[in-house]
Structure 1
Amino acid sequence: MTGPKPWLDSHDPETTGQLVEGKELRAGLARFMLNYQFAIEEIMTKINILKTEFEHLHDYSPIEHVSSRLKSPDSILDKARRREIPLTLAALSEHITDIAGVRIVCSFNADAYWIAQMISSQQDITVVTTKDYIANPKANGYKSLHLIVKVPIFLSESIQDMAVELQIRTVAMDFWASLEHKIYYKYDHAIPAAILAELQEAAEVASRLDSKMERIHDDVHGKLIRSTRS
Protein backbone atom coordinates (compact mmCIF):
# COMPACT_ATOMS: atom_id res chain seq x y z
CA MET A 1 0.00 0.00 0.00
CA THR A 2 1.34 3.39 -0.91
CA GLY A 3 1.47 6.24 1.56
CA PRO A 4 -0.21 9.62 1.25
CA LYS A 5 0.69 11.85 -1.68
CA PRO A 6 3.41 14.40 -0.86
CA TRP A 7 2.51 18.07 -0.70
CA LEU A 8 4.18 21.38 -0.10
CA ASP A 9 3.81 23.07 3.28
CA SER A 10 2.52 26.46 2.17
CA HIS A 11 2.80 27.87 5.69
CA ASP A 12 6.59 27.52 5.89
CA PRO A 13 8.54 29.74 3.44
CA GLU A 14 11.69 27.72 4.18
CA THR A 15 10.13 24.65 2.48
CA THR A 16 8.88 26.36 -0.68
CA GLY A 17 10.40 23.74 -2.97
CA GLN A 18 10.18 20.76 -0.64
CA LEU A 19 7.62 17.96 -0.40
CA VAL A 20 5.98 16.99 2.88
CA GLU A 21 3.50 14.29 3.71
CA GLY A 22 0.63 13.53 6.04
CA LYS A 23 -1.58 16.20 7.60
CA GLU A 24 0.33 18.95 5.80
CA LEU A 25 -1.55 17.91 2.64
CA ARG A 26 -4.93 19.22 3.76
CA ALA A 27 -3.57 22.33 5.46
CA GLY A 28 -1.44 23.30 2.47
CA LEU A 29 -4.21 22.63 -0.03
CA ALA A 30 -6.79 24.59 1.95
CA ARG A 31 -4.60 27.71 2.05
CA PHE A 32 -3.62 27.24 -1.59
CA MET A 33 -7.26 27.14 -2.75
CA LEU A 34 -8.25 30.03 -0.49
CA ASN A 35 -5.71 32.31 -2.14
CA TYR A 36 -7.21 31.55 -5.56
CA GLN A 37 -10.69 32.24 -4.21
CA PHE A 38 -9.45 35.63 -2.98
CA ALA A 39 -8.05 36.31 -6.46
CA ILE A 40 -11.42 35.51 -8.04
CA GLU A 41 -13.11 37.93 -5.66
CA GLU A 42 -10.62 40.67 -6.56
CA ILE A 43 -11.25 40.22 -10.29
CA MET A 44 -15.02 39.94 -9.84
CA THR A 45 -15.02 43.20 -7.87
CA LYS A 46 -13.16 44.97 -10.67
CA ILE A 47 -15.51 43.66 -13.35
CA ASN A 48 -18.65 44.40 -11.35
CA ILE A 49 -17.47 47.98 -10.78
CA LEU A 50 -17.09 48.39 -14.55
CA LYS A 51 -20.48 46.78 -15.16
CA THR A 52 -22.22 49.02 -12.62
CA GLU A 53 -20.48 52.12 -13.96
CA PHE A 54 -21.65 51.43 -17.51
CA GLU A 55 -25.19 50.58 -16.43
CA HIS A 56 -25.58 53.82 -14.47
CA LEU A 57 -23.40 56.37 -16.24
CA HIS A 58 -23.30 55.37 -19.89
CA ASP A 59 -25.80 54.62 -22.64
CA TYR A 60 -24.35 51.18 -23.33
CA SER A 61 -22.77 48.41 -21.26
CA PRO A 62 -20.50 45.85 -22.95
CA ILE A 63 -20.89 43.39 -20.05
CA GLU A 64 -23.98 41.15 -20.11
CA HIS A 65 -23.14 38.91 -17.16
CA VAL A 66 -20.20 37.47 -15.25
CA SER A 67 -19.54 34.13 -13.56
CA SER A 68 -16.59 32.46 -11.84
CA ARG A 69 -15.35 29.03 -10.97
CA LEU A 70 -12.60 27.48 -8.87
CA LYS A 71 -11.18 24.12 -9.92
CA SER A 72 -11.71 21.36 -7.39
CA PRO A 73 -8.66 19.88 -5.67
CA ASP A 74 -9.31 16.55 -7.41
CA SER A 75 -9.43 18.26 -10.80
CA ILE A 76 -6.15 20.05 -10.09
CA LEU A 77 -4.44 16.83 -9.01
CA ASP A 78 -5.77 14.92 -12.03
CA LYS A 79 -4.43 17.59 -14.38
CA ALA A 80 -1.07 17.62 -12.59
CA ARG A 81 -0.71 13.86 -12.89
CA ARG A 82 -1.70 13.84 -16.57
CA ARG A 83 0.89 16.52 -17.32
CA GLU A 84 3.45 15.04 -14.91
CA ILE A 85 3.66 18.21 -12.86
CA PRO A 86 5.40 17.81 -9.49
CA LEU A 87 2.93 17.81 -6.61
CA THR A 88 4.17 20.96 -4.96
CA LEU A 89 2.16 24.13 -4.59
CA ALA A 90 4.91 26.08 -6.33
CA ALA A 91 4.81 23.77 -9.37
CA LEU A 92 1.03 23.75 -9.52
CA SER A 93 0.91 27.56 -9.40
CA GLU A 94 3.48 27.82 -12.17
CA HIS A 95 2.13 25.20 -14.56
CA ILE A 96 -1.65 25.17 -14.00
CA THR A 97 -2.87 28.66 -14.77
CA ASP A 98 -6.62 28.01 -14.93
CA ILE A 99 -7.22 27.07 -11.29
CA ALA A 100 -9.20 30.28 -10.86
CA GLY A 101 -11.46 31.31 -13.73
CA VAL A 102 -13.78 34.21 -14.51
CA ARG A 103 -16.08 34.27 -17.54
CA ILE A 104 -17.34 37.56 -18.96
CA VAL A 105 -20.20 37.39 -21.46
CA CYS A 106 -20.76 40.33 -23.80
CA SER A 107 -22.99 41.18 -26.75
CA PHE A 108 -20.43 41.50 -29.53
CA ASN A 109 -16.91 40.38 -30.38
CA ALA A 110 -15.76 44.01 -30.47
CA ASP A 111 -16.93 44.27 -26.85
CA ALA A 112 -14.71 41.33 -25.90
CA TYR A 113 -11.62 43.26 -27.04
CA TRP A 114 -12.91 46.40 -25.33
CA ILE A 115 -13.43 44.62 -22.01
CA ALA A 116 -10.01 42.95 -22.24
CA GLN A 117 -8.41 46.35 -22.83
CA MET A 118 -10.19 47.96 -19.89
CA ILE A 119 -9.15 45.19 -17.50
CA SER A 120 -5.58 44.97 -18.83
CA SER A 121 -5.07 48.73 -18.43
CA GLN A 122 -5.70 48.62 -14.66
CA GLN A 123 -2.45 49.35 -12.84
CA ASP A 124 -2.44 46.33 -10.55
CA ILE A 125 -3.31 43.82 -13.29
CA THR A 126 -0.50 42.03 -15.12
CA VAL A 127 -1.38 40.21 -18.34
CA VAL A 128 0.67 37.01 -18.58
CA THR A 129 -0.70 35.52 -21.81
CA THR A 130 -3.44 36.26 -24.33
CA LYS A 131 -5.00 33.70 -26.65
CA ASP A 132 -7.19 35.28 -29.31
CA TYR A 133 -9.61 32.60 -30.45
CA ILE A 134 -11.80 35.27 -32.05
CA ALA A 135 -9.22 36.17 -34.69
CA ASN A 136 -7.97 32.56 -34.74
CA PRO A 137 -10.88 30.24 -33.86
CA LYS A 138 -10.26 26.74 -32.56
CA ALA A 139 -10.75 23.85 -34.98
CA ASN A 140 -14.24 23.21 -33.59
CA GLY A 141 -15.28 26.81 -34.34
CA TYR A 142 -15.00 28.13 -30.79
CA LYS A 143 -14.37 31.89 -30.57
CA SER A 144 -13.32 33.69 -27.40
CA LEU A 145 -10.59 35.75 -25.79
CA HIS A 146 -8.60 33.90 -23.12
CA LEU A 147 -6.32 35.93 -20.87
CA ILE A 148 -4.17 34.79 -17.99
CA VAL A 149 -3.77 37.73 -15.64
CA LYS A 150 -2.15 38.13 -12.26
CA VAL A 151 -3.78 40.15 -9.52
CA PRO A 152 -2.34 40.92 -6.07
CA ILE A 153 -4.15 39.72 -2.98
CA PHE A 154 -3.29 41.43 0.30
CA LEU A 155 -2.97 38.94 3.15
CA SER A 156 -2.21 39.58 6.80
CA GLU A 157 1.51 38.89 6.40
CA SER A 158 2.20 39.04 2.68
CA ILE A 159 1.08 40.10 -0.78
CA GLN A 160 0.59 37.31 -3.30
CA ASP A 161 0.26 37.69 -7.07
CA MET A 162 -2.30 35.11 -8.15
CA ALA A 163 -3.15 33.91 -11.66
CA VAL A 164 -6.72 34.03 -12.94
CA GLU A 165 -7.95 32.89 -16.34
CA LEU A 166 -10.39 35.29 -18.01
CA GLN A 167 -12.67 34.00 -20.75
CA ILE A 168 -14.46 36.76 -22.66
CA ARG A 169 -17.04 35.72 -25.25
CA THR A 170 -20.38 36.62 -26.77
CA VAL A 171 -23.81 35.45 -25.62
CA ALA A 172 -24.18 33.28 -28.72
CA MET A 173 -20.75 31.67 -28.29
CA ASP A 174 -21.33 31.19 -24.55
CA PHE A 175 -24.50 29.21 -25.33
CA TRP A 176 -22.58 27.11 -27.87
CA ALA A 177 -19.65 26.49 -25.51
CA SER A 178 -21.96 25.45 -22.67
CA LEU A 179 -23.64 22.84 -24.86
CA GLU A 180 -20.32 21.64 -26.31
CA HIS A 181 -18.93 21.22 -22.78
CA LYS A 182 -21.88 19.03 -21.73
CA ILE A 183 -21.57 16.88 -24.85
CA TYR A 184 -17.80 16.61 -24.33
CA TYR A 185 -18.29 15.00 -20.93
CA LYS A 186 -21.34 12.99 -22.01
CA TYR A 187 -19.08 11.13 -24.47
CA ASP A 188 -16.10 11.05 -22.09
CA HIS A 189 -14.04 13.32 -24.38
CA ALA A 190 -14.63 11.08 -27.45
CA ILE A 191 -17.41 12.85 -29.36
CA PRO A 192 -18.58 11.00 -32.51
CA ALA A 193 -17.42 12.59 -35.75
CA ALA A 194 -20.97 13.33 -36.93
CA ILE A 195 -21.76 15.28 -33.77
CA LEU A 196 -18.43 17.11 -33.97
CA ALA A 197 -19.33 18.21 -37.49
CA GLU A 198 -22.73 19.46 -36.32
CA LEU A 199 -21.11 21.34 -33.44
CA GLN A 200 -18.68 23.02 -35.81
CA GLU A 201 -21.55 24.02 -38.08
CA ALA A 202 -23.45 25.39 -35.07
CA ALA A 203 -20.38 27.43 -34.07
CA GLU A 204 -20.26 28.93 -37.56
CA VAL A 205 -23.97 29.80 -37.29
CA ALA A 206 -23.34 31.45 -33.91
CA SER A 207 -20.46 33.44 -35.39
CA ARG A 208 -22.61 34.64 -38.28
CA LEU A 209 -25.34 35.59 -35.81
CA ASP A 210 -22.83 37.64 -33.81
CA SER A 211 -21.72 39.52 -36.92
CA LYS A 212 -25.27 40.15 -38.13
CA MET A 213 -26.52 41.38 -34.75
CA GLU A 214 -23.56 43.74 -34.42
CA ARG A 215 -24.29 45.18 -37.87
CA ILE A 216 -27.96 45.65 -36.95
CA HIS A 217 -26.97 47.35 -33.69
CA ASP A 218 -24.63 49.70 -35.53
CA ASP A 219 -27.32 50.51 -38.12
CA VAL A 220 -29.87 51.35 -35.41
CA HIS A 221 -27.68 53.08 -32.82
CA GLY A 222 -24.65 54.14 -34.82
CA LYS A 223 -21.22 52.54 -34.57
CA LEU A 224 -20.06 52.55 -30.97
CA ILE A 225 -16.75 54.25 -30.28
CA ARG A 226 -14.98 52.04 -27.80
CA SER A 227 -12.17 53.60 -25.80
CA THR A 228 -10.57 53.20 -22.39
CA ARG A 229 -9.20 55.51 -19.77
CA SER A 230 -5.53 56.33 -20.25
Structure 2
Amino acid sequence: MEKDYLQQLKEIRDEVTRFMMTYKFGLREMDTKLTILKEEFQHFHDYNPIEHIKSRIKSPESILQKAHRKNIEMSLDSIKKNIRDIVGIRIVCSFNTDIYRISDMIQKQKDIMLIECKDYIKNPKPNGYKSLHLVLAIPVFMSDREEQVYVEIQIRTVAMDFWASLEHKIYYKYNKSIPDHLEKELADAATAANELDLRMEQLYKEVNYIKEHQVPDYDENYLGIDDVKLQIPKHFLDSFLKEK
Protein backbone atom coordinates (compact mmCIF):
# COMPACT_ATOMS: atom_id res chain seq x y z
CA MET A 1 0.00 0.00 0.00
CA GLU A 2 2.77 2.40 0.95
CA LYS A 3 4.64 1.46 -2.22
CA ASP A 4 1.61 2.35 -4.37
CA TYR A 5 1.28 5.67 -2.56
CA LEU A 6 4.94 6.52 -3.17
CA GLN A 7 4.57 5.57 -6.82
CA GLN A 8 1.60 7.90 -7.16
CA LEU A 9 3.59 10.72 -5.58
CA LYS A 10 6.45 10.10 -8.01
CA GLU A 11 4.07 10.19 -10.98
CA ILE A 12 2.55 13.48 -9.76
CA ARG A 13 6.02 14.95 -9.25
CA ASP A 14 7.09 13.91 -12.75
CA GLU A 15 3.94 15.38 -14.30
CA VAL A 16 4.39 18.71 -12.52
CA THR A 17 8.09 18.80 -13.44
CA ARG A 18 7.33 18.12 -17.11
CA PHE A 19 4.55 20.73 -17.02
CA MET A 20 6.86 23.44 -15.66
CA MET A 21 9.74 22.45 -17.95
CA THR A 22 7.50 22.82 -20.98
CA TYR A 23 6.83 26.44 -20.04
CA LYS A 24 10.53 26.96 -19.36
CA PHE A 25 11.35 25.74 -22.88
CA GLY A 26 8.57 27.93 -24.34
CA LEU A 27 10.09 30.97 -22.65
CA ARG A 28 13.53 30.08 -24.04
CA GLU A 29 12.16 29.83 -27.57
CA MET A 30 10.38 33.17 -27.35
CA ASP A 31 13.41 34.81 -25.72
CA THR A 32 15.55 33.58 -28.61
CA LYS A 33 13.17 35.05 -31.18
CA LEU A 34 13.16 38.44 -29.43
CA THR A 35 16.94 38.43 -28.96
CA ILE A 36 17.38 37.82 -32.69
CA LEU A 37 15.13 40.80 -33.50
CA LYS A 38 16.94 43.05 -31.01
CA GLU A 39 20.43 42.13 -32.22
CA GLU A 40 19.40 42.48 -35.86
CA PHE A 41 18.25 46.04 -35.18
CA GLN A 42 21.47 46.80 -33.31
CA HIS A 43 23.72 45.66 -36.14
CA PHE A 44 21.83 46.30 -39.38
CA HIS A 45 19.45 49.21 -38.77
CA ASP A 46 19.92 52.84 -37.79
CA TYR A 47 17.43 52.55 -34.95
CA ASN A 48 16.62 49.85 -32.40
CA PRO A 49 13.01 50.11 -31.14
CA ILE A 50 13.58 47.62 -28.29
CA GLU A 51 14.93 49.27 -25.14
CA HIS A 52 14.92 46.18 -22.94
CA ILE A 53 13.16 42.88 -22.33
CA LYS A 54 12.11 41.21 -19.06
CA SER A 55 10.71 37.72 -18.63
CA ARG A 56 9.45 35.44 -15.86
CA ILE A 57 7.66 32.16 -15.17
CA LYS A 58 5.07 31.90 -12.42
CA SER A 59 6.01 29.59 -9.57
CA PRO A 60 3.84 26.49 -8.96
CA GLU A 61 2.54 28.19 -5.78
CA SER A 62 1.55 31.31 -7.72
CA ILE A 63 -0.17 29.20 -10.38
CA LEU A 64 -2.22 27.32 -7.78
CA GLN A 65 -3.18 30.55 -6.02
CA LYS A 66 -4.43 32.05 -9.28
CA ALA A 67 -6.35 28.86 -10.11
CA HIS A 68 -7.99 29.05 -6.69
CA ARG A 69 -8.90 32.76 -7.11
CA LYS A 70 -10.44 32.10 -10.52
CA ASN A 71 -12.19 28.93 -9.37
CA ILE A 72 -10.30 26.82 -11.92
CA GLU A 73 -10.24 23.06 -11.56
CA MET A 74 -7.02 21.91 -9.89
CA SER A 75 -5.74 19.78 -12.76
CA LEU A 76 -2.80 20.40 -15.07
CA ASP A 77 -5.00 20.23 -18.18
CA SER A 78 -7.44 22.80 -16.78
CA ILE A 79 -4.65 25.10 -15.61
CA LYS A 80 -2.93 24.91 -19.01
CA LYS A 81 -6.18 25.79 -20.78
CA ASN A 82 -7.32 28.61 -18.50
CA ILE A 83 -4.18 30.32 -17.21
CA ARG A 84 -2.39 31.96 -20.11
CA ASP A 85 0.19 34.09 -18.33
CA ILE A 86 2.33 31.40 -16.73
CA VAL A 87 5.07 32.69 -19.03
CA GLY A 88 5.24 36.48 -19.13
CA ILE A 89 7.49 38.71 -21.23
CA ARG A 90 7.60 42.50 -21.12
CA ILE A 91 9.08 44.42 -24.03
CA VAL A 92 9.84 48.08 -23.38
CA CYS A 93 10.35 50.30 -26.41
CA SER A 94 10.88 53.97 -27.16
CA PHE A 95 7.72 55.16 -28.89
CA ASN A 96 4.05 54.27 -29.38
CA THR A 97 4.58 53.36 -33.05
CA ASP A 98 7.31 50.91 -32.01
CA ILE A 99 4.75 48.93 -30.02
CA TYR A 100 2.67 47.99 -33.05
CA ARG A 101 5.75 47.51 -35.22
CA ILE A 102 7.19 44.97 -32.79
CA SER A 103 3.79 43.28 -32.40
CA ASP A 104 3.52 42.85 -36.19
CA MET A 105 7.02 41.40 -36.47
CA ILE A 106 6.30 38.85 -33.75
CA GLN A 107 2.93 37.81 -35.17
CA LYS A 108 4.33 37.34 -38.69
CA GLN A 109 6.57 34.49 -37.53
CA LYS A 110 5.09 31.31 -38.97
CA ASP A 111 5.26 29.15 -35.86
CA ILE A 112 3.55 31.70 -33.62
CA MET A 113 -0.24 31.81 -33.28
CA LEU A 114 -2.10 34.82 -31.88
CA ILE A 115 -4.64 33.67 -29.30
CA GLU A 116 -5.75 37.00 -27.85
CA CYS A 117 -4.93 40.70 -28.14
CA LYS A 118 -5.89 43.34 -25.58
CA ASP A 119 -5.04 46.87 -26.65
CA TYR A 120 -4.92 49.00 -23.51
CA ILE A 121 -3.23 51.78 -25.50
CA LYS A 122 -6.21 52.56 -27.70
CA ASN A 123 -8.52 51.61 -24.81
CA PRO A 124 -6.74 52.39 -21.52
CA LYS A 125 -7.93 50.95 -18.22
CA PRO A 126 -9.92 53.36 -15.97
CA ASN A 127 -6.84 53.96 -13.79
CA GLY A 128 -4.83 55.10 -16.80
CA TYR A 129 -2.89 51.88 -17.44
CA LYS A 130 -1.60 51.52 -21.01
CA SER A 131 0.06 48.55 -22.68
CA LEU A 132 -0.47 46.12 -25.55
CA HIS A 133 -1.10 42.58 -24.31
CA LEU A 134 -0.67 39.59 -26.62
CA VAL A 135 -1.35 35.98 -25.73
CA LEU A 136 0.57 33.78 -28.16
CA ALA A 137 0.93 30.03 -28.63
CA ILE A 138 4.41 28.74 -29.46
CA PRO A 139 5.32 25.10 -30.18
CA VAL A 140 7.71 23.22 -27.93
CA PHE A 141 9.04 19.95 -29.37
CA MET A 142 9.61 17.29 -26.72
CA SER A 143 11.12 13.84 -27.26
CA ASP A 144 7.71 12.21 -27.69
CA ARG A 145 5.30 15.02 -28.58
CA GLU A 146 4.71 18.65 -29.50
CA GLU A 147 3.26 21.00 -26.88
CA GLN A 148 1.65 24.38 -27.57
CA VAL A 149 2.68 26.79 -24.82
CA TYR A 150 0.86 30.03 -24.06
CA VAL A 151 3.07 33.09 -23.64
CA GLU A 152 1.78 36.51 -22.61
CA ILE A 153 3.73 39.45 -24.03
CA GLN A 154 3.23 43.01 -22.81
CA ILE A 155 4.63 45.75 -25.05
CA ARG A 156 4.82 49.32 -23.74
CA THR A 157 6.90 52.49 -23.87
CA VAL A 158 9.45 53.56 -21.26
CA ALA A 159 6.98 56.14 -19.90
CA MET A 160 4.16 53.57 -19.70
CA ASP A 161 6.47 51.10 -17.95
CA PHE A 162 7.63 53.70 -15.42
CA TRP A 163 4.03 54.60 -14.57
CA ALA A 164 2.90 50.97 -14.31
CA SER A 165 5.81 50.06 -12.04
CA LEU A 166 5.07 52.86 -9.57
CA GLU A 167 1.31 52.24 -9.73
CA HIS A 168 1.92 48.60 -8.85
CA LYS A 169 4.01 49.55 -5.80
CA ILE A 170 1.43 52.06 -4.55
CA TYR A 171 -1.43 49.63 -5.19
CA TYR A 172 0.12 46.88 -3.09
CA LYS A 173 1.34 49.24 -0.38
CA TYR A 174 -2.31 50.10 0.31
CA ASN A 175 -3.35 46.43 0.10
CA LYS A 176 -5.04 46.92 -3.30
CA SER A 177 -7.33 49.70 -2.03
CA ILE A 178 -5.91 53.19 -2.44
CA PRO A 179 -7.53 56.52 -1.38
CA ASP A 180 -9.61 58.34 -3.98
CA HIS A 181 -7.25 61.31 -4.21
CA LEU A 182 -4.35 58.99 -5.04
CA GLU A 183 -6.40 57.31 -7.78
CA LYS A 184 -6.95 60.73 -9.33
CA GLU A 185 -3.25 61.60 -9.01
CA LEU A 186 -2.31 58.34 -10.71
CA ALA A 187 -4.77 58.99 -13.54
CA ASP A 188 -3.32 62.49 -14.00
CA ALA A 189 0.19 61.04 -14.00
CA ALA A 190 -0.85 58.55 -16.70
CA THR A 191 -2.12 61.45 -18.81
CA ALA A 192 1.19 63.26 -18.33
CA ALA A 193 3.13 60.12 -19.31
CA ASN A 194 1.04 59.82 -22.46
CA GLU A 195 1.68 63.47 -23.35
CA LEU A 196 5.41 62.91 -22.84
CA ASP A 197 5.29 59.88 -25.17
CA LEU A 198 3.58 61.90 -27.89
CA ARG A 199 5.91 64.87 -27.49
CA MET A 200 9.10 62.79 -27.58
CA GLU A 201 7.93 60.88 -30.64
CA GLN A 202 7.17 64.16 -32.43
CA LEU A 203 10.65 65.45 -31.54
CA TYR A 204 12.19 62.25 -32.88
CA LYS A 205 10.29 62.62 -36.16
CA GLU A 206 11.40 66.25 -36.51
CA VAL A 207 15.05 65.34 -35.91
CA ASN A 208 14.80 62.58 -38.53
CA TYR A 209 13.22 65.00 -41.01
CA ILE A 210 16.01 67.54 -40.49
CA LYS A 211 18.65 64.81 -40.86
CA GLU A 212 17.13 63.51 -44.10
CA HIS A 213 16.83 66.97 -45.71
CA GLN A 214 20.03 68.55 -44.47
CA VAL A 215 22.49 69.57 -47.19
CA PRO A 216 25.92 68.23 -46.23
CA ASP A 217 28.73 70.67 -45.52
CA TYR A 218 31.28 70.76 -48.31
CA ASP A 219 34.79 69.74 -47.38
CA GLU A 220 37.46 72.27 -48.39
CA ASN A 221 39.16 69.54 -50.40
CA TYR A 222 36.11 69.18 -52.62
CA LEU A 223 34.54 71.46 -55.19
CA GLY A 224 30.77 71.79 -55.69
CA ILE A 225 29.26 72.55 -59.11
CA ASP A 226 26.30 74.96 -59.45
CA ASP A 227 24.89 74.13 -56.01
CA VAL A 228 24.35 70.53 -57.07
CA LYS A 229 25.01 67.93 -54.37
CA LEU A 230 27.78 66.49 -56.53
CA GLN A 231 31.24 66.98 -55.08
CA ILE A 232 34.45 66.52 -57.07
CA PRO A 233 37.86 66.21 -55.41
CA LYS A 234 40.01 69.26 -56.19
CA HIS A 235 43.13 67.25 -56.98
CA PHE A 236 41.15 65.27 -59.55
CA LEU A 237 39.86 68.46 -61.21
CA ASP A 238 43.33 70.09 -61.21
CA SER A 239 44.84 67.04 -62.88
CA PHE A 240 42.05 66.99 -65.47
CA LEU A 241 42.55 70.71 -66.35
CA LYS A 242 46.32 70.33 -66.74
CA GLU A 243 45.80 67.58 -69.32
CA LYS A 244 43.53 69.94 -71.25
Q: TM-score, normalised by structure 2?
A: 0.80
The equivalent of 1:44 in structure 2 is 31
Give, in whole Å, the separation in 2 of the partners of 1:133 and 1:158.
36
Aligned-pair Cα RMSD in Å: 1.6
The equivalent of 2:215 in structure 1 is none
1:140-159 Cα offsets, whole Å, 9 max, x none, are 11111000000011111111
Q: Please tell me the residue identity of whatever aligns with 1:189.
A: K
Residue 181 of structure 1: SS of its match in structure 2?
A: helix
Residue correspondence of structure 1 range 112-127 to structure 2 within 5 A: 112-127=99-114
The reply to whether residue 221 of structure 1 matches residue 171 of structure 2 is: no
Residue correspondence of structure 1 range 128-147 to structure 2 within 5 A: 128-147=115-134
The equivalent of 2:71 in structure 1 is 84
The equivalent of 2:194 in structure 1 is 207
The equivalent of 2:239 in structure 1 is none
Q: Please tell me the residue identity of whatever aligns with 2:191.
A: E
Identity fraction in percent: 53
Q: Please tell me the residue identity of whatever aligns with 1:172.
A: A
Richer in helix (by share) = 2
The equivalent of 1:54 in structure 2 is 41
Residue 130 of structure 2: SS of its match in structure 1?
A: coil
Residue 46 of structure 1: SS of its match in structure 2?
A: helix
Give, in whole Å, the separation in 2 of the partners of 1:26 and 1:201.
49
Give, in whole Å, the separation in 2 of the partners of 1:185 and 1:22.
36
Give, in whole Å, the separation in 2 of the partners of 1:181 and 1:30.
31
Give, in whole Å, the separation in 2 of the partners of 1:180 and 1:127.
28
The reply to whether residue 63 of structure 1 matches residue 42 of structure 2 is: no
Q: 1:160 aligns with which of 147, 153, 157?
A: 147
1:13-41 Cα offsets, whole Å, 9 max, x none, are xxxxxxx9745443322221111111111
Moved more, 108-117 or 175-184: 175-184
The equivalent of 1:98 in structure 2 is 85
Give, in whole Å, the separation in 2 of the partners of 1:222 and 1:125.
35
Q: Please tell me the residue identity of whatever aligns with 1:57.
A: F
Give, in whole Å, the separation in 2 of the partners of 1:31 and 1:81.
22
Structure label with greater radius of gyration: 2
1:191-222 Cα offsets, whole Å, 9 max, x none, are 22221111111111111000000000000013
Residue 22 of structure 2: SS of its match in structure 1?
A: helix
Give, in whole Å, the separation in 1 of the partners of 2:174 and 2:68.
22
Structure 2 unaligned residues grouped into runs of 5+: 1-6, 211-244
The equivalent of 2:232 in structure 1 is none
Task: Summarize the Cα distance change of 1:124–1:82 in structure 2 as closer, same or farther, 3 Å threshold.
Answer: same
Q: Please tell me the residue identity of whatever aligns with 1:104.
A: I
Number of matched residues?
A: 204
The equivalent of 1:11 in structure 2 is none
Q: Please tell me the residue identity of whatever aligns with 1:73.
A: P
The equivalent of 1:75 in structure 2 is 62
Q: TM-score, normalised by structure 1?
A: 0.85
